[in-house]
Amino acid sequence: MSEKISFPLTVGPTHPAFKEPMRLYFRVEGEKVVSTEIDMGYTHRAIEWVATKRNFIQILYLMERVCGICSSTHPNTYSLSIENISGIDPPPRAKYIRSIMNELERLHSHLLWVGVAAHEIGFDTAFYYTWNIREKVLDTLENITGNRINYAIMTIGGVRRDIKENQFKLLREVVGYYREVYDRAYDMFLNDLSVRARIENVGILTPKDAKELCAVGPTARASGIRKDVRCDYPISAYADMDWLEPMVPETVGKKAVGDLYDRTLVRILEVKQSCDIIEWCLDRMPSGPILVEENANKMINRLKKVEGDGLGRYEGPRGECTHYNLLDKKDGPVLMKIKASTFSNITAWEPMFDNAEIADIPIIMSGIDPCIACADRMTFIKGNNKYEMSTSDLHRLSVEKQKRFKR
C-alpha cells in the first residue's frame, strides 16, 4: 500500500476570497485538506490604541472605520457601551431609528455575502443579480444618511439624523421590493441543483464545535445554535419585539447540518426577517426627540465625570459584536476593547476545512463572511518544486468543478 504524502499549501495573505489580507497554511493530501493554521495581523491598525487618543465623539467616526460593512454596528455597540456606564438612555424614537439602520445594514451585508458566495463557486449570474438588487438598499442608506457606507448616524445618546415622512415611504418601498425579489433569490440559491451540489455537506461545523469554539451569528445559527444577541440580550427596538426568533435551519423545518447550504439559508431567511423588523419599526415609530444632548461638547463634559467600565453588545450581520470601555474621568475612554464578530468565527474555520477539497477552500473561507480583504495568488510547494496558481487558475478550478456537477 502506498504511503500518503501531505504537502503544504499557503493561501493568502492576499487572495480574492478575502476582503482583507490574512494567510491560511494548509496541509493537503492530494485534493484533501488535512490540517489548517491561521495567520493574521496583516492589517492590524492598533485602532483600540488610536481610540484612546481621541475624545468620546471623535471615536464614533473612528468606530465606523473598524469595518467597511459594519459601519452602523461598531458605532452602535460603542455607544451602547458608553451609555451602559454613564446611565444615558436614548429617546424612544432614536432606539427605533437605530434598529432600522442596523437592519438596513444587515440587508446589504447579507446580499453582499450571497453575491460573493455565488462568485466563489463560479455562479457569476447570481453574483451580479444579488449585487444589483443590493443597490436599492445602498441607495436608501444614502438617502437617509448621505452615504452608502460610513453613515455617521449613531451617536452617544441617540442618532444624528431623523427619518422624515417621505423616507418612511421610501423604506416601505424598499421592504416591498425585497419581498418581491425574495422568492427568486431563494430559489436561485437554495433550490438550484448545481449550487446545492457545491454547498451541501461542505465546510461542516457541528453544533458541538460551534459551541466550544464560541462561533457567532449566522455561522453558529447554521449549526442549529440559537444564539442571537437581538433575542438573548436585546437593545433598542429589539427589546419590544417579543416575536423575534433566531433564524436557524429548523425555522423552515430543515435539520441543521452546519454546512454552507445552512449558512446560506440562514442569511437568506434573515433578509426576510430584516424586512419584517424594518416594517414593524416603521409601524410603531415613536414621536419625539432623537438625541439626549445635541451639543457634543456638553456630552463630552457630562461623560468626563464618569468613572467605571461599560459593556456594549449587539448582533451585527456577522454575529455578536462587543465593546468594552474603561472610563476614568477623562474626555475619552482610557482603554477600549473591541471584539468583532469575525474574530469569534475564525477558530471555527479549522473544523470546517477538515477533509475539504482544494476547490472548496474559497467558498469555505467566505462561508463565515469574513471581514478580510481580497487579493491575488496562492503557491503550491511540492517537494523542491514550487509553482504558483493565479486568481484565474483558482477560479478555473472552481468553475470546472461546477461544470462537472452540471453534466
Partner 1 sequence: MVISAEEIVKKYKNVFGDKIIDADIQETTRGVLKQKSQKILRMKMEGDIFHDAFSMLCDISYPHVSAPMTFKLHEERMELIYVFSIYWGLSNYSELPIVFKVMIDRKNPQIQSIADLLPGMRLYERETIEMLGIDILGAEDKRHFLIPPSVYNDADKNLTPFRQDLGFGFDDYYKRLEEKMKEKEKKRTDAKDGVQDSSEGGV
Contact residues for partner 1, defined by CB under 8 A? 40-42, 44, 46, 48-49, 84, 89, 92, 95-96, 211-216, 225-229, 231-235, 237, 239-240, 242, 245-246, 284, 286, 309, 311, 313, 320, 322-324, 326, 335-337, 339, 343-344, 346-347
The secondary structure of residue 228, as a DSSP letter, is: -
Q: Which three cell numbers stand for residue 309?
A: 467600565
Please report how close the Cβ of residue 215 comes to partner 1 at its closest, in angstroms: 8
Please report how close the Cβ of residue 43 comes to partner 1 at its closest, in angstroms: 9
Question: What are the helix (H) ranges across 121-222?
Answer: 124-145, 165-190, 193-199, 207-212, 217-221
Please report how close the Cβ of residue 84 comes to partner 1 at its closest, in angstroms: 7
DSSP reduced 3-state for 28:
strand
Q: Which residue, 122 or 310, has its beta carbon nearer to partner 1? A: 310
Give the length of the chain.
Answer: 407
Q: Which residue, 115 or 312, has its beta carbon nearer to partner 1? A: 312
Please report how close the Cβ of residue 228 comes to partner 1 at its closest, in angstroms: 8
Please report how close the Cβ of residue 311 comes to partner 1 at its closest, in angstroms: 6
Q: Which residue, 33 or 215, has its beta carbon nearer to partner 1? A: 215
The secondary structure of residue 294, as a DSSP letter, is: S
Question: What are the helix (H) ranges across 248-291?
Answer: 260-283
Q: Which residue, 40 or 57, has its beta carbon nearer to partner 1? A: 40
Q: Which residue, 119 or 230, has its beta carbon nearer to partner 1? A: 230
Torsion of CA 89, 90, 95, 97, to 10 degrees: -170
Please report how close the Cβ of residue 32 comes to partner 1 at its closest, in angstroms: 23
State the Cα–Cα distance between residues 85 and 233, nearest whole angstrom: 17
Please report how close the Cβ of residue 106 comes to partner 1 at its closest, in angstroms: 18
Q: Which residue, 336 or 365, has its beta carbon nearer to partner 1? A: 336
Q: Which residue, 60 or 281, has its beta carbon nearer to partner 1? A: 281
- Show the beta-strand stretches assigned E in 30-64: 32-39
State the Cα–Cα distance between residues 177 and 160, nearest whole angstrom: 27
Render 58-113 in DSSP notation, one character per residue. HHHHHHTTT-SS-TTHHHHHHHHHHHHHHT----HHHHHHHHHHHHHHHHHHHHHH
